[in-house]
Structures are given as structure tokens and as C-alpha cells.
């Protein structure tokens, strides 16, 4: 019996060892990146590639592929894929698209597990900082840095930098300082688009007097419930206290519950917590907290509500067949400033291209995405609209939808003072936690002071 | 769930008169009140599903503006939701369907094969440390799947001893190995535990007489155990099938776009900012079809298998 067991043990060990050897034999020897540039680029002599001469630096990249991971899913993914065709023509390399709604969580899992994509479209500067903190993000090559200087404002470049090092070039953008309204309704009633904050309040009173609740809103968004209200506060703070105070507030140089912020939140409350103003076509003030943000502006179509403050991307929420244009069923106007002091503040967001590899094809792709050529290709590849970029080389006429054109004009306006969505830049505990939660409590009856004090105390030290 | 159950034996002897327990239980359950209660519960339970089903046929503007019960006063139906779910993406839904099947079948068969063998060993073979090992496997059930994601993925990407990486850019087999392996790993503790309990109820005399007749472990296992275990194997098979079919976390963590199952497509159905959420009801019913067929065709095993380990045979 003894000897039989031993024999079995030996056989088992031998089987295990041989399996291991076979598997080890299969292991590919990792080349590890940083390969030398070779060959001439396939774009040489092609007319459509002449504006992309920067890509010649990376040589022949035929049969190489680049994995791209984004938070943008179907149907918005196809325009992205289409806009890369020129890159493949000029370099030979093929980017592989992968979009996921679990992007933020999954990207961190993949990075920590050592399986990052080559390129990720990071939608928040705060997340970019976290990723850079893992040490896996590769610094942008000089070509990308040059392009960012040339085509984007200094503010945009700084959002793609961490501690003074430039990592990620801006990609797309969206404008959040919009108020959606119905041009037809406004024309029928003889209402004008307000040019100042006071005009807007006067118009709200006028509409309220006619028996209609002028504003509608919804801040429910699953686990992110409350974020539309944070945008309200940021937009108003940018107007009442100016961009400098806003920057200090975002970077926590002044406390979260500073008196300027309290004033701004009270101004928001003047609209969102005013029984006479909200919640058109939906219910009372507290219904804001339970209405999905996707549905918050829909009463405008039924004529139950006149105005809805939401970003440019809300355009996709109107049911199919809605005419979104200057004289159509719905359109948006720029949320007016409170005074002349601070110019035209614009609150917005956008994505940034972070790379986890320095292989030539990855760097070539980063370069391509930072050019004006790509921005125009993307605009042409998006016939349904819903995309705009802060790239100064983007020709507004290439944008498909009227709302994108308006966004593009606002982003390229030299008087515009652009600021990135503050909650996306604050630490996660605040920007994706207490800020959302306390704003929801505030809508449902909490006081301004309690809300701001609670967020301040949750700021990580 | 223990191998011997003295309480139950005591209950049986306490039953009044010569009437068997099953008859009295049968009578108690067929009282009109019980029937009414059952019907009420069934109706309440089904209403949300019915609402979802009706919603899946309503036009977008109706779904976003009013509840499904408005269908009775204002009926309007459309197939466009199903059309968008089935044909709305650049990747055909059939690809995801095939992926789901390719992931699910091995992820059900592999753990069942290993678990029946392991259960047999734990019940009928004597080796040192058997109980300790069994308790260790049982204890593994309490490890939440989430804490294993990153370490496991690390192992797949950079395996020790220069083994072949199973995940990452050069994943073999399109990356399906990691999914099969992960599902097997996560399923085994419960599978072994369930099948062990079932198997230990098979009377030892049966095994002994087979031994006397000259049967070895292999013959006992294939000729006696497997046929007797069929209900338990089928029951666990359904459980594991439903779990793997409905899984999203494992699929998107360890898989790649080429291996994504139906659930991954469903999760993205509502669009980047959730503006197409009206499609979800139609999507839910599309993904429901296969599990429903599996469940209905195997449900008698499921009911029988649920009792596995509860009553002494």
C-alpha cells in the first residue's frame, strides 16, 4: 500500500511538472515596448495624410493594433470608430474600440491588475490624477504636447496635467451652462431669451404669474443622484463669485462652506426651492429629487414647463422626432451671467486621452487624436451630432446639429471663461460622494448651512 | 443539512394516528384559504413582470412619460424597442448570444465534473486531513467574489513560474479560458458542499455490497453514484447556469470585447448617459428567453434537487 501511494505521488508530480513545462513553453517572450521606429509611414505621398506629417515620426506601423477603452457606448461609439479610418490609412495601425458603462471601476481594476488598455478616454481630471498616482500612466510625447499648446487653451491643457507634467490631451467637450427651452413656446408668448440673470428671474416671475411653473428639474441618477444639482451650484458660483474664487473652492484653498458658496447656493435655491418656479409638469420641490435627470426637461415638450438647465448632451434625451434647433421644438440658451465683472463663464466637461504604453503606435494615435484633423474628422463622422470639442482648429460648420454648433461657438469664444465641472476635480469622497448626497438632502428640505458644513467636514485631510 | 437528521425522524413518529405526514400536509395545503393566499401572492408577484412585459411594447414617448397601466386607457403598441435591441448595435446581438452560450456551457460542465468527483472522495474515501480539507472548502464560500477580482486578474496577466498568460493582449482562445476558469473557481465550494451532502445520504450498505461484488472506486462512481446523483447534479446545474448566464461582473472583468456575453450588451443598452433606458424592458425579455427555456424544461429536477439534503431518503 505504502509503495503504491508513493508511486502515485511521483506520477502526479511528474504530470504536474510536465504540464507546467508545456505551459511555460507557450509563454510568449514579452518584448516590453519602446521598439525602434522603422520604415516610412504608409501615409507618404497620400493627399489625405498631408496634414498629418507629424505621424511620419513614428514610421511604418502596419499590422499594429492599439486597444482603446472608453466610457462611451453604442450608438455614440460608431462615430469614434469611423473617425479613426484616416489614422489607419496614414499609419497602418488599427485602434480597437471598447466602451463600457462600468469604465471608471473597470479601468482601475485593469490598471491595478497590470492589464491596462493602451489608451483610455478619461472623462474626469480627478480620475486622471488617481490613475497617474498608480504610476502606470505614460507622459504624453512631445508631439501631443505641441498640439495641445497649438489647438487648446492653457486651461484645457492644465486639466490634462498632474503636478505640472502633461499626460493627457483633451478630446471631446460638453457645455453645461445651458438652459433648455422651447423656441415655439417663447415665440407664442412673446418671451425673449434673457441676457442677464435678473432678466431670467424677471421672465420666471412673468411665466409663474401666467400660471405655469417656469422651471423643471430632475436630479435622480441612480447612485450618482444629486449631480445635476452640483452643476447648478458650480454654474452659479462661477457667475456670482468669479472664476478665481471658483478655482480656490475646487482646490479647497477656501473652505467648501465659504460665504461666497453659501450665497451661490441660496441663489440656486431661489429657483430650485421656489414653489412658484418648480417643478413644472412634475410636482412640487421635493419631486426634483425623485425625477430621473433624463426626464427632468421632458415637460417642456408638453408645454408644462418653460426652462430646464442641463448640459449640451441633454440633446440626446429628447424623444426621436423632436426638432432640436433655434426655431424648433426645443433648443438651449446660454445661462446668462450675473454681471459684467467676470466675462461669460462657461461650465463644462470633457474627456482626456491617457496612455498606458509608450509603444510608437500608441504615441502616434495620441498624436492623431490631438490634431485639428481628427477633430474635424470626428465632426464629419457624427451625422447625428452630440459631439463637440474645444479644439480651436475645429471648423464649426463641420458640426452636424445646431446645439453642437452653439456649443462649439461658446467653447471657441475668446470672451468665454471656461471652467471644468468642479465635482469632477474634487477628491472622490466629495465630488462623487458627499457633494451629491448633501445636494439631494438640500433639495428635499435640508438647509444651505447644514449641506455645506457636512460637505466641508467630509473633505479628506 | 447534516448527514443524519434525528429531529425529522422524531417528527415522523409524532404524527397523529396511522395517517402519514404527507397526507395531512396535503390536506392542509389544499384548504381554500391557502389556495386564495397562493393565488394572491402569485398575482402580486407577477404584476411587476407583467408591467415590464407591457412596457417593452410601448413607444418611447409613452414609456418616459407615463406608467404601463396607462396602456388600458390609451393603448399603443410598437415593436421598435425589440427592433432596436436586436439590430441597434454595430455588433450583432447573435454574437453576444453565442458568446453567452460559449461561456456558460463549459462554466457549468467543468465545476460539476470536478465537484462530483471531489464530493465522492470526501464522502467515500478515507484519507488524512479529509474533514479539515472539507471545512476549508466549505469556508471558501464566504469569500466575496469582489475581493478576488484584482488578485485573480493579476495572476491571469502575470502568472508565476513563467506560465502562459491567460488574459491581456495575447490571451489564448480569445480570452474564454479566464472566464471558464473563474466561474469554475467561484462555483466549486458550493458545488462540492451541496453534492457532498447529497451523496452522504446514499446508504453505505449500497457501497459495501458493491465492494463485496468486486467493484472499485471507478465502477462505484460511474455505475451507482452518477445515476443516483442525477437530480442533485441537475439542480446545481440549473443554479450554476442561471448564475453564469446572468453574470456581468466576471465577464467584463476577465473578458475582452470579443468574449462579452449578452449581459454586457444589456448593460450598455441604455446609452452613455442613460438616455435610452426605455430599451431596457425589451432587452430584459430578450435575455430572459434562454434561462426560461432551461428552467421550464428542467424544473422537475430543480424542485426535487432543492429538497436534496433536507429529508432522509
pLDDT band at A242 (very low <50, low <70, confident <90, very high): very high
Enter the C-alpha cell of residue A171: 478630446
Answer yes or no: is the ipTM higher than 0.85. no
**Cross-chain residue pair B257–A28, CB shorter than 8 Å:** no
Cα separations (Å) of A449 from A120, A263, A270, A453? Answer: 39, 10, 15, 6
In a domain, B34, yes or no: no
State whether residue B41 is helix, strand or coil.
helix
**Cross-chain residue pair B165–A77, CB shorter than 8 Å:** no
In a domain, B19, yes or no: no
In a domain, B270, yes or no: yes
Interface test mutation site (partner B, options A73, A106, A291, A310, max chain B beta carbons within 10 A):
A73
Candidates A71, A101, A109; nearest CB to B153: A109
Chain pair A-B, CB pairs under 8 angstroms: 101
Fold agreement (A47-175+348-419, A178-347+422-458)? yes
Spatial distance between the Cα atoms of B259 and B246, rounded to a whole number of angstroms: 15
Higher pLDDT among residues A102 and A353, named by residue: A353
The A residues from 89 to 128 touching B (CB cutoff 8 Å) are 96-102, 106, 109-110, 112-115
Number of domain units in chain B: 1
B195-204 confidence digits (pLDDT tens):
999 888 888 8
Candidates A24, A74, A109; nearest CB to B162: A24
Mean pLDDT for chain B?
83
Residue B312 predicted with pLDDT over 50 = no
pLDDT band at A404 (very low <50, low <70, confident <90, very high): very high
Measured between beta carbons, the chain B residues lying within 8 angstroms of A112 are: 150, 154
On the 0-12 / 13-18 / 19+ scale of CB atoms within 10 A, A344 is middle
Interface check for A373 against chain B (CB to CB < 8 A): the answer is no
Work out whether strand A165-166 and strand A65-70 pair parallel, antiparallel, or are unpaired: unpaired
Q: Mean pLDDT throughout A38-50? A: 85
Please state the separation of Cα B47 from the chain's center in Å: 24
pLDDT band at A34 (very low <50, low <70, confident <90, very high): very low
Spatial distance between the Cα atoms of A75 and A103, rounded to a whole number of angstroms: 16
Cα atoms in the Cβ-side hemisphere of radius 13 Å centred on A342 = 22
B163-192 confidence digits (pLDDT tens):
777 776 667 767 888 999 999 999 999 999
Lookup result for grid cell 471658483: A246
Interface check for A357 against chain B (CB to CB < 8 A): the answer is no
Per domain, the residue ranges of chain A are: 47-175+348-419, 178-347+422-458
Higher pLDDT among residues A266 and A432, named by residue: A266
Q: Mean pLDDT throughout B225-254? A: 89
In a domain, B73, yes or no: no
**Minimum distance, in Å, between the CA of residue B153 and any CA atom of chain A:** 6
Instruction: Specify the pLDDT at position A166.
Output: 95
**Cross-chain residue pair A319–B157, CB shorter than 8 Å:** no
Interface test mutation site (partner A, options B272, B275, B279, B280, max chain A beta carbons within 10 A):
B272
Measured between beta carbons, the chain A residues lying within 8 angstroms of B164 are: 23-24, 26-28
How many other C-beta atoms lie within 10 A of the C-beta of residue A291?
Answer: 22
Query: Diameter of chain A by CA atoms?
Result: 101
Quick check: A344 and A415 in contact, CB under 8 A? Answer: yes
Interface check for A73 against chain B (CB to CB < 8 A): the answer is yes
Q: Mean pLDDT throughout B280-296? A: 86
**Cross-chain residue pair B157–A109, CB shorter than 8 Å:** no
Work out whether strand A169-175 and strand A65-70 pair parallel, antiparallel, or are unpaired: unpaired
Most confident range, picked from A67-81, A96-110, A391-405: A391-405
Quick check: A400 and A384 in contact, CB under 8 A? Answer: yes
In a domain, B39, yes or no: no
Cis, peptide link before residue A432, omega less than 30° from 0: no
**pTM for this predicted structure:** 0.81
A433-447 confidence digits (pLDDT tens):
899 999 999 999 999
B12-21 confidence digits (pLDDT tens):
444 455 566 6
CATH number for the region A47-175+348-419 comes to: 3.40.190.10
On the 0-12 / 13-18 / 19+ scale of CB atoms within 10 A, B18 is exposed
Contacts for A383 with CB less than 8 Å, ≥ 6 apart? A79, A400
φ/ψ (deg, to 5) at A172? -90, 175
**Cross-chain residue pair A20–B163, CB shorter than 8 Å:** yes
**Cross-chain residue pair A20–B158, CB shorter than 8 Å:** no
Residue B153: which domain range? Answer: 6-11+83-306
DSSP letter assigned to residue A396: G
Which residue on chain B is closest to A123 by alpha carbon?
A: B272
Interface check for A283 against chain B (CB to CB < 8 A): the answer is no
Instruction: Specify the pLDDT at position A26.
Output: 45
Phi-psi region of A114 (alpha: psi -120 to 50; beta: other; left: phi over 0): left
Q: Considering only CA atoms, which of A121, A61, A48 is closest in space to residue A93?
A: A61
Contacts for A191 with CB less than 8 Å, ≥ 6 apart? A185, A203, A206, A207, A306
Spatial distance between the Cα atoms of A452 and B207, rounded to a whole number of angstroms: 72
Return the sign of the alpha-carbon dihedral for residues A272, A274, A277, A279.
Answer: positive
**Cross-chain residue pair B157–A298, CB shorter than 8 Å:** no
A271-294 confidence digits (pLDDT tens):
999 999 999 888 999 999 999 998
Q: Considering only CA atoms, which of B253, B150, B182, B248 is closest in space to residue A134?
A: B150
Cα separations (Å) of B71 from A104, B49, B50, B56? Answer: 38, 15, 12, 12
A197-224 confidence digits (pLDDT tens):
999 999 999 999 999 999 999 999 888 8
Enter the C-alpha cell of residue A382: 457624427
A178-347+422-458 belongs to which homologous superfamily?
A: Periplasmic binding protein-like II (3.40.190.10)
Interface test mutation site (partner B, options A78, A81, A114, max chain B beta carbons within 10 A):
A114
Higher pLDDT among residues B120 and A8, named by residue: B120
Candidates A27, A294, A320; nearest CB to B163: A27
Spatial distance between the Cα atoms of B100 and B89, rounded to a whole number of angstroms: 17
Instruction: Specify the pLDDT at position B186.
Output: 93
In a domain, B205, yes or no: yes
In a domain, B59, yes or no: no
Spatial distance between the Cα atoms of B100 and B259, rounded to a whole number of angstroms: 8
**Minimum distance, in Å, between the CA of residue A50 and any CA atom of chain B:** 31
**Minimum distance, in Å, between the CA of residue B56 and any CA atom of chain A:** 16
Spatial distance between the Cα atoms of A15 and A21, rounded to a whole number of angstroms: 10
Which residue on chain A is closest to B64 by alpha carbon?
A: A295
Interface check for A9 against chain B (CB to CB < 8 A): the answer is no
Q: Mean pLDDT throughout B141-147? A: 88
Q: Mean pLDDT throughout A65-83? A: 89
Which residue on chain B is closest to A69 by alpha carbon?
A: B257
User: Which CATH number goes with the domain that contains B206?
Assistant: 1.10.3720.10
In a domain, B35, yes or no: no
pLDDT band at B91 (very low <50, low <70, confident <90, very high): low
Cα separations (Å) of B179 from A97, B152, B176, B183, B233? Answer: 21, 11, 5, 6, 21
Residue percentage of chain B with pLDDT more than 90: 27
Amino acid at each position: 500500500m505504502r509503495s503504491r501511494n508513493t508511486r502515485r505521488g511521483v506520477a502526479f508530480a511528474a504530470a504536474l511538472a510536465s504540464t507546467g513545462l508545456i505551459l511555460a513553453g507557450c509563454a510568449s517572450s514579452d518584448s516590453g515596448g519602446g521598439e525602434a521606429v522603422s520604415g516610412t509611414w504608409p501615409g507618404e505621398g497620400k493627399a489625405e495624410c498631408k496634414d498629418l506629417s507629424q505621424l511620419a515620426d513614428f514610421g511604418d506601423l502596419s499590422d499594429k493594433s492599439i486597444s482603446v477603452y472608453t466610457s462611451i457606448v453604442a450608438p455614440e461609439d460608431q462615430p469614434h470608430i469611423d473617425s479613426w479610418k484616416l489614422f489607419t490609412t496614414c499609419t497602418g495601425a488599427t485602434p480597437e474600440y471598447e466602451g463600457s458603462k462600468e469604465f471608471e471601476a473597470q479601468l482601475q481594476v485593469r490598471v491595478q491588475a497590470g492589464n491596462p488598455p493602451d489608451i483610455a478616454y478619461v472623462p474626469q481630471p480627478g480620475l486622471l490624477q488617481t490613475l497617474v498616482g498608480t504610476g502606470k500612466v505614460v507622459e504624453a510625447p512631445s508631439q501631443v504636447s505641441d498640439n495641445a499648446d497649438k489647438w487648446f487653451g492653457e486651461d484645457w491643457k492644465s486639466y490634462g496635467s498632474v503636478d505640472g507634467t502633461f499626460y493627457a490631451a483633451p478630446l471631446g467637450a460638453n457645455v453645461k451652462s445651458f438652459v433648455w427651452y422651447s423656441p415655439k413656446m417663447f415665440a407664442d408668448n412673446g418671451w425673449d431669451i434673457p441676457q442677464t440673470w435678473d432678466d431670467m428671474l424677471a421672465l420666471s416671475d412673468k411665466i409663474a404669474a401666467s400660471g405655469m411653473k417656469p422651471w423643471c428639474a430632475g436630479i435622480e441618477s441612480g447612485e450618482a443622484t444629486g449631480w445635476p444639482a452640483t452643476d447648478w451650484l458650480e454654474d452659479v458660483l462661477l457667475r456670482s463669485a468669479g472664476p478665481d474664487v471658483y478655482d480656490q473652492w475646487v482646490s479647497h484653498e477656501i473652505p467648501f462652506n465659504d460665504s461666497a458658496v453659501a450665497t451661490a447656493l441660496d441663489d440656486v435655491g431661489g429657483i430650485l426651492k421656489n414653489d412658484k418656479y418648480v417643478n413644472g409638469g412634475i410636482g412640487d420641490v421635493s419631486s426634483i429629487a425623485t425625477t430621473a435627470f433624463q426626464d427632468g426637461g421632458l415637460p417642456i415638450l408638453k408645454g408644462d414647463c418653460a426652462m430646464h438647465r442641463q448640459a449640451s448632451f441633454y440633446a440626446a434625451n429628447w424623444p426621436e422626432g423632436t426638432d432640436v434647433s433655434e426655431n424648433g421644438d426645443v433648443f438651449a440658451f446660454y445661462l446668462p451671467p450675473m454681471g459684467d465683472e467676470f466675462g461669460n463663464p462657461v461650465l463644462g466637461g470633457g474627456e482626456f486621452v491617457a496612455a498606458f504604453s509608450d509603444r510608437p503606435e500608441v504615441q502616434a494615435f495620441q498624436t492623431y487624436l490631438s490634431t485639428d484633423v481628427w477633430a474635424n474628422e470626428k465632426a464629419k463622422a457624427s451625422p447625428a451630432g452630440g459631439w463637440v470639442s474645444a479644439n480651436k482648429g475645429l471648423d464649426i460648420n463641420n458640426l452636424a446639429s445646431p446645439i453642437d454648433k452653439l456649443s462649439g461657438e461658446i467653447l471657441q469664444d475668446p470672451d468665454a471663461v471656461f471652467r471644468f465641472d468642479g465635482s469632477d476635480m474634487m477628491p472622490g469622497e466629495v465630488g462623487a460622494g458627499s457633494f451629491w448626497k448633501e445636494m439631494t438632502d438640500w433639495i428635499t428640505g435640508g438647509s444651505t448651512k447644514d449641506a455645506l458644513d457636512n460637505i466641508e467636514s467630509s473633505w479628506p485631510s | 443539512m447534516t448527514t443524519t437528521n434525528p429531529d425529522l425522524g422524531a417528527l415522523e413518529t409524532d404524527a397523529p394516528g396511522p395517517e402519514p405526514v404527507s397526507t395531512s400536509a396535503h390536506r392542509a395545503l389544499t384548504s381554500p384559504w391557502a389556495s386564495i393566499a397562493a393565488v394572491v401572492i402569485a398575482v402580486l408577484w407577477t404584476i411587476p413582470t407583467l408591467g415590464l412585459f407591457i412596457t417593452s411594447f410601448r413607444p418611447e414617448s409613452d414609456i418616459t412619460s407615463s406608467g404601463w397601466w396607462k396602456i388600458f386607457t390609451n393603448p399603443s403598441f410598437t415593436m421598435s424597442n425589440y427592433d432596436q435591441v436586436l439590430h441597434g448595435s454595430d455588433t450583432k446581438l447573435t454574437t453576444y448570444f453565442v458568446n453567452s452560450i460559449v461561456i456558460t456551457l463549459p462554466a457549468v460542465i467543468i465545476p460539476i465534473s470536478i465537484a462530483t468527483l471531489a464530493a465522492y472522495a470526501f464522502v467515500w474515501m478515507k484519507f488524512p486531513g479529509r474533514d479539515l480539507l472539507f471545512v476549508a472548502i466549505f469556508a471558501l464560500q464566504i469569500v466575496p467574489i469582489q475581493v478576488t477580482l484584482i488578485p485573480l486578474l493579476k495572476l491571469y496577466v502575470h502568472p508565476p513560474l513563467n506560465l502562459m498568460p491567460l488574459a491581456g493582449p495575447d490571451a489564448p482562445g480569445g480570452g474564454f479560458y479566464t472566464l471558464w476558469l473563474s466561474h469554475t473557481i467561484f462555483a466549486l465550494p458550493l458545488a462540492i458542499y451541496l453534492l457532498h451532502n447529497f451523496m452522504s445520504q446514499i446508504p453505505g450498505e449500497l457501497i459495501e455490497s458493491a465492494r463485496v461484488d468486486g467493484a472499485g472506486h471507478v465502477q462505484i462512481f460511474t455505475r451507482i453514484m452518477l445515476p443516483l446523483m442525477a437530480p442533485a447534479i441537475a439542480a446545481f446545474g440549473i443554479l450554476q447556469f442561471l448564475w453564469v448566464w446572468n453574470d456581468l461582473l466576471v465577464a467584463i472583468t476577465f473578458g475582452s470585447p470579443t468574449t462579452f456575453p449578452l449581459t454586457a450588451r444589456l448593460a450598455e443598452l441604455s446609452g452613455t448617459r442613460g438616455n435610452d433606458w426605455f430599451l431596457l424592458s425589451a432587452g430584459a425579455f430578450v435575455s430572459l428567453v434562454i434561462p426560461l427555456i432551461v428552467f421550464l424544461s428542467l424544473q422537475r429536477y430543480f424542485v426535487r434537487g432543492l429538497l436534496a439534503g433536507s429529508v432522509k431518503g
